[in-house]
Amino acid sequence: MTIRDPLPRSAPEAQGVSSAALSRLVDALDQIEYLHSVMVLRHGHVIAEGWWSPYAAESPHMLFSLSKSFTSTAIGLLVDEGRLSADDFVLPFFPDDAPASPSDNLKAMRVRHLLSMSTGHAEDTLGPVSLSGNPNWARGFLALPVAHAPGTHFVYNSGATYMLSAIVQRVTGQRLLHYLTPRLFQPLGIEGATWQQCPRGIDTGGWGLSIKTEDIAKFGQLYLQRGVWQGQQILSEAWVTEATSKHIDNATPDPSQPIDWAQGYGYQFWRSQHSAYRGDGAFGQFCVVMPDHDAVIAITSGVKDMQQVLDAVWEHLLPGLGDVKADNPLSQPLPVGERGQTPLPRGERAGAADAALKLSHLALTPQPGHAFSPVASRASGKRYAIEPNARGITALTFDFHLGRCTLTVHDAHGEHAIACGYRGWLPGVTTFQSDGTSHASCAASAASAAWASDEAYVIKLCYTETPFMNTLYCTFDEDALSVVLSSHVAFGPNEPTHLQGHLTP
């Protein structure tokens, strides 16, 4: 798959950026487990880009809450079309779902409160709404108590973003994805976008969008250019300013609160240090816009500490950017592709080549260890019956051949194969899912495996369109098998699953 209407490329120094700073940034990101991609734009040009293999430029990536900024954009487009106002009350959009006696706080809730995470709820509504068993999430949202006056209290609230998606569908008669396609995705050359839906077919809004890294970068560049794309105003400058301004304070007394999550919140955008703003999603999906530096950075990852990623950007990239306010007034940003390139001196060309070389050789570390073990011939092709477990796995089969292995997971849904490479990542698809469940839907994957000892075989299974990676530590002991199945990142408690099994006749 190729990227439609790709952004222009340029050497870093041609856009006034130090390749040494980019090299330091890449080195810092490479030390964080696990970055998946990075793309840096300056003056509308891509000056650095890289994917940690097995992740790739042509693959979409799950955005989680970075999806929220796209949902906000749909609201902005409706405002621009005169079909909606941020001051509209929420209840009138859902006359059939409203409680019989709505509270004063619920009646006071406006679209702007959904946008700014200031609905007045005491906690995120997503859990109570999505896990209730009621397929009508809008009705569930409106039934929850609203403890505070809207506009006075910040609570990160994915249920509020879902309600924005539901409003888009009520107003337009279209899914959020379908409404955005001709107005945002097609003008920017974004193809293949997908969005998860609720049980009633409404896009989830606050999460669930999957697009490519360059698509994230284009979205950030559109906002940096104040809604202008290739000379056309596709989103009003007024909305860009409104959406990315601080509307409510989100700092807390908690000293452990990450600093970039305490700079204020806009309309589904976070304010950041250094006068920047961003959309972001769980486990390190970032679209960071730096107006003072005429720069955008897009990142996908599966990290545990998101502040660590931003710290690397501030520490290593910013010193190489300088301040462009004086020579590039942001009131008149140049469209993508209209900045010229200046030939680089020989020393700068060498620095740019070094940075590009690092970016082109990024890779997640394959599973270390040996290709062969005496156990392999004894265990190969044998079926291990697994004792009852929370994952519902009933049996495992290992097929070893020339240093590689295919693991087959058996459960009530059938058989789910995982082909593993040695000293590298073997790409493929599997129906064994990142949360340990299995179903008929195929997920893009890549696996690497090796013998850590004669008895222990370790498999790393990477889901290459998501932040998730599983590790299966398999220990063979005569006719017995024990497996520790763990996930690198997860929502909530992340305890490994322990499986016990024995050879079957």
Report the CATH number that the domain containing residue 462 is assigned in CATH: 2.40.128.20
* Domain annotation covers residue 222: no
Using alpha carbons only, what angle is made at residue 298 by residues 160 and 202, rounded to the nearest 5 degrees? Answer: 30
Quick check: 300 pLDDT over 60? Answer: yes
Q: Strand pairing of 480-487 and 469-477? A: antiparallel
How many domains does the chain contain in total? 1
Helix locations, 100-195, DSSP H: 104-108, 111-115, 126-130, 137-143, 158-172, 176-180, 186-188
Quick check: 407 pLDDT over 90? Answer: yes
Distance CA 279, CA 251 (A): 17
Quick check: 327 pLDDT over 70? Answer: no
Measured between alpha carbons, how far is residue 130 from residues 252, 265, 495 in Å?
Answer: 27, 24, 23
Measured between alpha carbons, how far is residue 44 from residues 222, 251, 283, 497 in Å?
Answer: 9, 32, 27, 46
> Sorting pLDDT into bands at 50, 70 and 90, what band is 440?
low
Distance CA 48, CA 50 (A): 7
Q: Which amino acid is at 353?
A: A
**Short-list 312, 333, 315, CA closest to 324:** 333
* Domain annotation covers residue 302: no
* Domain annotation covers residue 454: yes
Residue 54 tokens read as 């097995």
Residue 51 tokens read as 């994917």
* Domain annotation covers residue 26: no
Of 46-55, 438-447, 467-476, the poorest mean pLDDT is in 438-447
* Domain annotation covers residue 7: no
Using alpha carbons only, what angle is made at residue 503 by residues 368 and 373, rounded to the nearest 5 degrees? Answer: 30
The whole-number pLDDT of residue 337 equals 42
Provide mean pLDDT across the span 383-399. Answer: 95
> Sorting pLDDT into bands at 50, 70 and 90, what band is 377?
very high
Reduce the DSSP state of residue 185 to 3 states and report it: helix
Residue 136 tokens read as 């009508």
Of 50-59, 226-235, 284-293, 487-496, the poorest mean pLDDT is in 487-496
> Sorting pLDDT into bands at 50, 70 and 90, what band is 339?
very low
* Domain annotation covers residue 442: yes
The number of beta carbons lying within 10 Å of the beta carbon of residue 238 is 13
Distance CA 471, CA 461 (A): 6
* Domain annotation covers residue 87: no
The whole-number pLDDT of residue 59 equals 97
Peptide bond into 54 cis (omega under 30): yes
pLDDT digits (tens, 9 = 90+) for 465-499: 999 999 999 999 999 999 999 999 999 888 999 99
- CA–centroid distance for 269 within its chain: 14
pLDDT digits (tens, 9 = 90+) for 177-202: 999 999 999 999 999 999 999 999 99
The whole-number pLDDT of residue 441 equals 73
pLDDT digits (tens, 9 = 90+) for 84-127: 999 999 999 999 999 999 999 999 999 999 999 999 999 999 99
* Domain annotation covers residue 407: yes
Report the share of the chain in percent with pLDDT over 90: 86
For residue 409, what are the domain limits?
A: 374-503
> Sorting pLDDT into bands at 50, 70 and 90, what band is 343?
low
Distance CA 249, CA 64 (A): 23
Q: Which amino acid is at 38?
A: V
The whole-number pLDDT of residue 325 equals 56
What is the phi/psi pair of residue 153, to 5°? Answer: -145, 120
The whole-number pLDDT of residue 354 equals 84
Quick check: 338 pLDDT over 50? Answer: no
Quick check: 259 pLDDT over 70? Answer: yes
pLDDT digits (tens, 9 = 90+) for 345-376: 656 666 778 888 999 999 999 999 999 999 99
Provide mean pLDDT across the span 300-328. Answer: 87
pLDDT digits (tens, 9 = 90+) for 140-169: 999 999 999 999 999 999 999 999 999 999
Q: Answer positive or negative: Cα dihedral of 17, 20, 21, 22.
A: positive
Average pLDDT along the chain: 93
